[in-house]
């Protein structure tokens, strides 16, 4: 047996290990620590930085929040341009970079090598100065807010205004105080009169100096172009909306309207200058012009003014009639999607027709009149076919020479006026007939005042369905004339004619009469203006007679409308292509 004393030394190490193992649970240990919060940087470009290098330099700067970066650098694409130090502002030398738009970013790196990047900053680098482009063409019948503007090929630096000088004069040579500002896109120098314009007014603008530079500081290249004094005119009426013409718009156009505000314009247009002419119609939406599907006429030439006519119904439906080269009369309506034929042709056999007029009554009934070999033909659409209203009409059946026919219609009533010499006479007079209860009847005697020729006539109906007529009479030389007005009453016949206007060169006149909601007649016509132009004017007959002439503007009268508030709307043509505008007072 081993003695107890011999075993004790052998047990001590094992006892220590056992004690250490058993007592380990009572020893303290370190608690786990959360990792530190990562740094999140925000790199943003400062406000008000330049959009272009100016004189070959641009100062760029950023703001960094969220911590202190270890390193900040400016990059163009993936290429480092420069390292930045606080306050992170750098003057960039634009010389090494290509012309055009260049994009830059700033990258900030934290102590633990995290990278944060700014949004892209676009910078225009331009070493070529602006070239003169000339005067911007003023709109046809501009609004008073439209300004004379000289254009350049690129945006100008605002400091350019210090080097610009114009001379502005009125038509009598008086100087006009003005300011010069940049257009919204920066490419135009706008001339702004110091005082509001009172139309009609013409301003003549002349360049004195234009030491301009672009936004990069490059000076103007080349000589100024279009430097002759340029005149700009603002009229009492201004255009309503931009006409959606895509090709060369050929005169003459047409304008039609309903009494409750539906409006449409029609014109012929040659796509891309081709020989074919399309009939184009646009309707007024209240905010602008909506171009409708194009009507392709069979003819390859533009239609003369008296060979196209348009009407607009109270519900807004648009009707268009025209004569083909063989004299066939076609009528179509727009159904909201496409043009549909309104029955067969009212004159299927064709003829030598060259004049027509289309009208629609308040119930949507269509009536059309056309001239053929000096006789007038009238047809009404009954919903299924065109029915003639009697036979050919003439005041002189043995020697017919009816012309210039015009219609006024109401449900169950058609009133027709035209110019023709009566039987046994050799000077033209105005004839007014009505179709009521299935037959035609003349209204009183033919209208003619002096020993002159009646040449033009316009017709309207008042609320009592009484015809109101305005006509012109010219002397034999066609150099002097008078514009007359008369009203027909069923009990008393035609009232004594009143002089609306006497004039020289009456060939320009082309009167149009309308009646306002109070029953007062208004007459518009065109008078001879500064040769070779014409001015469009109008007069209203008040309780005490005809009021003074009111000027619309310079051009050729297409049509004249009075809305329910008594505001005149005037369609005119003239000036640059498309040279067509619907206007109203401004």
Per-residue pLDDT at 480: 81
Per-residue pLDDT at 18: 44
Parallel, antiparallel, or unpaired: how do β-strands 248-257 and 263-270 relate? antiparallel
**Which whole number is the average pLDDT over 57-76?**
97
Model confidence at 333, in pLDDT bands (50, 70, 90)? very high
Per-residue pLDDT at 475: 81
**Which whole number is the average pLDDT over 276-297?**
87
Per-residue pLDDT at 29: 53
- How far apart CA 246 and CA 264 sit, in angstroms, is 17
Query: Cβ distance 571 to 264 under 8 Å?
Result: no
**Among 414, 405, 311, 320, residue whose Cα is nearest residue 364:** 311
Domain 42-125: which CATH number of 2.40.50.140, 3.20.20.140, 3.40.50.880, 2.60.40.10: 2.60.40.10
Specify the pTM: 0.82
Per-residue pLDDT at 300: 46
Domain boundaries, the chain: 42-125, 132-234, 238-585
Q: Note the pLDDT tens digit of each residue in 91-138.
A: 999 999 999 999 999 999 999 999 999 999 999 999 999 999 999 988
Whether the pLDDT of residue 35 is over 90: the answer is: no
What three-state secondary structure class fits 233?
A: strand
**Which whole number is the average pLDDT over 166-171?**
97
**Among 117, 42, 41, 50, residue whose Cα is nearest residue 90:** 50
Q: Do 42-125 and 238-585 share a fold?
A: no
More confident residue, 267 or 211: 211
Instruction: DSSP letter for 160, please.
Output: G
Query: Cβ distance 194 to 179 under 8 Å?
Result: yes
- How far apart CA 468 and CA 45 sit, in angstroms, is 73
Model confidence at 273, in pLDDT bands (50, 70, 90)? low
Task: Give the side-chain half-sphere CA count within 13 A for 88.
Answer: 21
Q: How far apart are the first and last CA of the chain?
A: 134
Per-residue pLDDT at 31: 57
Model confidence at 422, in pLDDT bands (50, 70, 90)? confident
Q: What is the mean pLDDT of the chain?
A: 88
Domain 132-234: give its CATH code. Answer: 2.60.40
Lookup result for tokens 């109270």: 314
Q: Note the pLDDT tens digit of each residue in 218-238.
A: 999 999 998 899 999 999 999
Domain 238-585 of CATH type 1.10.10.10: no
Please state, as a whole number, how many other Cβ atoms lie within 10 Å of the Cβ of residue 15. Answer: 11
Helix, strand and coil in the chain, % to nearest 5: 5, 50, 45
Q: Note the pLDDT tens digit of each residue in 431-486.
A: 999 999 999 999 999 999 887 889 899 999 999 999 999 999 988 777 788 999 99
Per-residue pLDDT at 277: 75
């Amino acid at each position: 047996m081993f003695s107890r004393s011999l075993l004790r030394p052998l047990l001590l190490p094992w006892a220590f290990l056992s004690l250490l193992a058993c007592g380990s649970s009572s020893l303290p240990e370190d608690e786990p620590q959360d990792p530190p919060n990562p740094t999140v940087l925000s790199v943003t470009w400062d406000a008000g930085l330049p959009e272009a290098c100016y004189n070959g330099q641009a100062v760029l700067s950023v703001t960094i929040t969220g911590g202190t970066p270890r390193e900040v650098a400016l990059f163009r694409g993936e290429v480092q341009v420069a390292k930045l130090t606080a306050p992170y502002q750098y003057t960039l030398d634009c010389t090494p970079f290509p012309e055009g738009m260049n994009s830059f970013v700033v990258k900030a790196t934290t102590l633990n090598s995290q990278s944060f990047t700014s949004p892209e900053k676009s910078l225009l680098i331009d070493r070529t100065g602006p070239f003169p482009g000339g005067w911007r063409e003023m709109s046809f019948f501009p609004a008073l807010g439209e300004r004379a503007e000289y254009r350049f090929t690129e945006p100008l630096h605002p400091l350019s205004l210090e080097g610009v000088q114009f001379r502005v004069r009125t038509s009598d040579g008086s100087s006009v105080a003005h300011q010069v500002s940049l257009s919204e896109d920066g490419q135009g120098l706008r001339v702004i009169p110091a005082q509001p314009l009172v139309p009609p007014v013409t301003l003549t603008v002349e360049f004195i100096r234009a030491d301009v530079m672009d936004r990069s500081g490059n000076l103007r290249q080349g000589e100024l172009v279009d430097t002759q004094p340029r005149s700009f005119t603002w009229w009492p009426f201004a255009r309503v909306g931009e006409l959606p013409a895509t090709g060369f718009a050929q005169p003459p156009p047409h304008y039609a309207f309903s009494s409750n505000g539906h409006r449409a314009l029609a014109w012929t247009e040659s796509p891309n200058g081709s020989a074919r002419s399309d009939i184009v119609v646009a309707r007024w939406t209240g905010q602008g012009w909506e171009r409708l599907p194009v009507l392709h006429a069979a003819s390859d030439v533009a239609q003369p003014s008296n060979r196209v006519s348009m009407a607009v119904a109270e519900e807004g439906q648009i009707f268009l009639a025209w004569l083909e080269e063989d004299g066939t009369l076609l009528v179509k309506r727009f159904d909201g999607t496409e043009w549909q034929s309104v029955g067969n042709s009212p004159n299927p056999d064709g003829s030598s027709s060259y004049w027509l007029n289309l009208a629609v009554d308040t119930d949507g009934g269509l009536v059309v009149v056309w001239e053929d070999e000096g006789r007038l033909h009238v047809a009404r659409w009954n919903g299924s076919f065109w029915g003639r209203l009697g036979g050919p009409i003439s005041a002189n059946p043995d020697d017919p020479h009816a012309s210039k026919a015009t219609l006024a219609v109401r449900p169950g009533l058609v009133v027709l006026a035209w110019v023709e010499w009566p039987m046994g006479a050799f000077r033209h007079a105005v004839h007014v007939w009505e179709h009521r209860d299935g037959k035609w009847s003349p209204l009183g005697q033919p209208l003619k005042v002096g020993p002159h020729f009646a040449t033009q006539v316009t017709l309207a109906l008042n609320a009592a369905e009484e015809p109101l007529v305005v006509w012109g009479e010219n002397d034999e030389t066609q150099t002097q004339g008078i514009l007359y007005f008369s009203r027909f009453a069923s009990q008393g016949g035609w009232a004594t004619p009143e002089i609306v206007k006497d004039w020289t060169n009456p060939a320009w006149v082309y009167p149009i009469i309308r009646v306002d909601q109070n029953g007062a007649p208004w007459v518009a016509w065109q008078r001879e203006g500064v040769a070779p132009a014409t001015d469009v004017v109008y007069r209203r007959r008040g309780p005490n007679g005809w009021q003074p002439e009111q000027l619309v503007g310079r051009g050729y009268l297409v049509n004249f409308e009075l809305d329910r508030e008594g505001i005149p709307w005037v369609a005119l043509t003239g000036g640059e292509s498309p040279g067509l505008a619907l206007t109203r007072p401004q």
